[in-house]
């Protein structure tokens, strides 16, 4: 079985080597890029399973790299940044990052977070069940979410979406008309090993609404003020 490959993107060579040592000890393959431009070049040739991406880099910063990756790929992205401000975290998530880690970090935590993201993004891939009997597949009017292929179809057209957006939508749609708090959604979709805050949910819901707006009058992604969110379906009341 081929090793999962992690691309480490950081202009600090010492950090890259430290992460490489820990990841290879955990049986990952690694590839290193020292700036954003090189990262995009290597992505095309190496096709990593996950990108560990620093923000502040020469030639092209991590935000722009993430944006360009999201234009053509759903590869999981974890942002590495010395910036701890909420604005920077939210911007990374809005650009499609799956997680973020603020420097200085514990290397064992980074490895654990990488494993958690990879596990969430690969669960169910390759399953052979039929969609109508498969819990990984949810369908409503003009909407289909298939976590086996990580494929989102809106009105018959495949729409690109980061893995966490798709998992959040799938979870809510699989439990129609049930209200979940932000913390419940963090637990259910991100898992107990997620270290972020509940603002993450708001960012992902906002991005999903941009994709789903006006698609169907039979369902909608609703805010329940003071509580959380629900996938409201008129067909399953």
Domain count, the chain: 2
Give the pLDDT confidence of 19-66 residue by residue, as tens digits: 999 999 999 999 999 999 999 999 999 999 999 999 888 889 888 999
Give, in order, the Cα–Cα distances in Å from 163 to each of 10, 96, 146, 212: 23, 9, 11, 16
- pTM equals 0.59
Domain that holds residue 51: 5-122
Do 92 and 149 lie in a common domain?
Answer: no
What's the rounded mean pLDDT across residues 136-152?
A: 87
Do 10 and 69 lie in a common domain?
Answer: yes
Strands 99-102 and 77-81, by their bridges, are: parallel
Do residues 75 and 50 make contact, with C-beta atoms less than 8 angstroms apart?
yes
Query: The CATH number of the domain where 229 resides is what?
Result: 1.10.10.10
Query: Environment class of residue 19 by beta-carbon count within 10 Å: exposed (0-12), middle (13-18) or buried (19+)?
Result: buried
Give the pLDDT confidence of 172-191 residue by residue, as tens digits: 999 999 999 988 888 888 77
pLDDT value at 13 more than 70: yes
Nearest residue to 154 (alpha-carbon basis) of 69, 213, 233: 213
Do 59 and 150 lie in a common domain?
Answer: no
Do 86 and 194 lie in a common domain?
Answer: no
- Max alpha carbon distance in the chain (Å)? 56
């Amino acid at each position: 079985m081929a090793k999962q490959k992690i691309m480490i993107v950081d202009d600090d060579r010492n950090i890259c080597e430290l992460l490489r040592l820990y990841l290879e000890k955990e049986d990952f393959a690694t590839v290193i890029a020292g700036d954003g431009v090189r990262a995009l070049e290597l992505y095309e040739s190496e096709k990593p399973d996950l990108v560990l991406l620093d923000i502040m880099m020469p030639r092209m910063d991590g935000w722009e790299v993430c944006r360009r990756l999201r234009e053509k790929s759903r590869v999981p992205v974890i942002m590495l940044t010395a910036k701890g401000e909420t604005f920077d975290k939210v911007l990374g998530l809005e650009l499609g990052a799956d997680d973020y880690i603020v420097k200085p970090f514990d290397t064992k935590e980074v490895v654990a977070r990488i494993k958690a993201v990879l596990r969430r993004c690969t669960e169910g891939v390759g399953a052979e069940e039929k969609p109508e009997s498969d819990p990984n597949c949810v369908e409503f009017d003009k909407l289909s979410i298939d976590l086996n292929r990580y494929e989102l179809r809106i009105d018959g057209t495949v729409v690109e979406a980061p893995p966490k957006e798709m998992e959040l939508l799938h979870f809510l749609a699989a439990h129609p008309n049930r209200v979940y708090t932000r913390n419940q959604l963090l637990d259910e979709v991100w898992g107990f090993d997620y270290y972020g805050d509940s603002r993450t949910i708001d960012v992902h819901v906002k991005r999903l609404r941009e994709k789903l707006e006006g698609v169907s009058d039979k369902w909608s992604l609703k805010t329940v003020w003071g509580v959380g969110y629900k996938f409201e379906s008129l067909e399953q009341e």
